[in-house]
Amino acid sequence: MTPPVLAGLAGAALVGFGLYGLILHPHPLRKLLAFNLIGSGVFLVFGIVARRGAAAGLPFDPVPQAMVITGIVVAFAASALAVALILRLAAVSGKVTLDPEAWAKTPSTRPDGGGGQ
110 binds other proteins (CB under 8 A): no
Instruction: Find, among 81, 57, 60, the residue nearest to 69 by Cα.
Output: 60
Instruction: Find, among 3, 82, 68, the residue nearest to 40 by Cα.
Output: 68
Per-residue contact track with other proteins, 57 to 96, x per CB under 8 A?
xxxxxxx-xxxxxx-xxx-xxxxxx-xxxxxx-x---xxx
Cβ neighbours of residue 26 under 8 Å, at least 6 residues apart?
97, 98, 99, 102
Per-residue contact track with other proteins, 39 to 58, x per CB under 8 A?
-xx-xxx-xxxxxxxxxxxx
Least spacing, CB of residue 35 vs other proteins, in Å = 11
In the window 9-38, what residues touch other proteins (CB under 8 A)? Answer: 9-21, 23-27, 29-30, 33-34, 36-37
